A and B are shown apart, each in its own frame.
Chain A
Amino acid sequence: DAKTTQPTSMDCAEGRAANLPCNHSTISGNEYVYWYRQIHSQGPQYIIHGLKNNETNEMASLIITEDRKSSTLILPHATLRDTAVYYCIVRPPLGGTASKLTFGTGTRLQVTL
């Protein structure tokens, strides 16, 4: 599985954009980048995923660099409820193997007033 590297923690003021970086320099051409978040003592929640193109949904935007070696999750207007641990995961190649998710330690985002 490709390894991801994320900062241990980040702070963001409420109402501002939160930009969470992730490095995945050994990613393979057919591996997806997934983002989940986990609020304290709850199960992880899916946010977004992408392969090559930038993606946007109602929760966030995902920007993947052209060489695919890094990505950034953007929460456009962070609120206190966005305080959580954010996990960047590279999903194994398709076909023949289980699409298991490997969770690292993630980035702890603290949104403040």
Chain B
Amino acid sequence: DGGITQSPKYLFRKEGQNVTLSCEQNLNHDAMYWYRQDPGQGLRLIYYSQIVNDFQKGDIAEGYSVSREKKESFPLTVTSAQKNPTAFYLCASSIDLYGGLAGDEQFFGPGTRLTVL
């Protein structure tokens, strides 16, 4: 089955540690995205990538880093510089970044809930 996978579903880390969240898609999508969601809030864009070896900062990139070495993978690292890292993290992908055509909607993974102790 085609889709997006995120692992693990729940992740616990001590304060001050970097942690990397995985995101893999087998949809052959060019564009990938990382969002953060806090309780009772909408999604906020952290980083996005149009194509391999390219990525851009979203609205709340401070304290995060990403890489896009392979088309199917877009890992997110939450660094110790992120002041409030505890949140629900969602990865998404779409056919391409500039879309607007029918069927270019974003497909979301199941999310990773990160708790920093």
Contact = CB atoms under 8 A, between A and B. Distances in A.
State the majority secondary structure of interface residues on A.
loop
Contacts of A42: 110-111
Interface in A33-52: 34, 41-46, 49
Contacts, number: 59
Interface residues of B, number: 30
Given A41-B111, A44-B90, A105-B41, A99 B100 contact: yes
A91 interface: yes
Interface residues of A, number: 22
A94 interface: yes
Contact of A98 (B48, B108, B109): B48
B92 A94 contact: no
A98 B106 CA distance: 13
Contact of B42 (A91, A99, A104): A104
B18 to A, nearest CB: 24
15 contacts: A32-B100, A41-B113, A42-B110, A43-B111, A44-B106, A87-B42, A91-B100, A94-B99, A98-B98, A99-B98, A99-B100, A101-B45, A102-B45, A103-B35, A106-B42
Interface of A: 32, 34, 41-46, 49, 87, 91, 94-95, 98-106
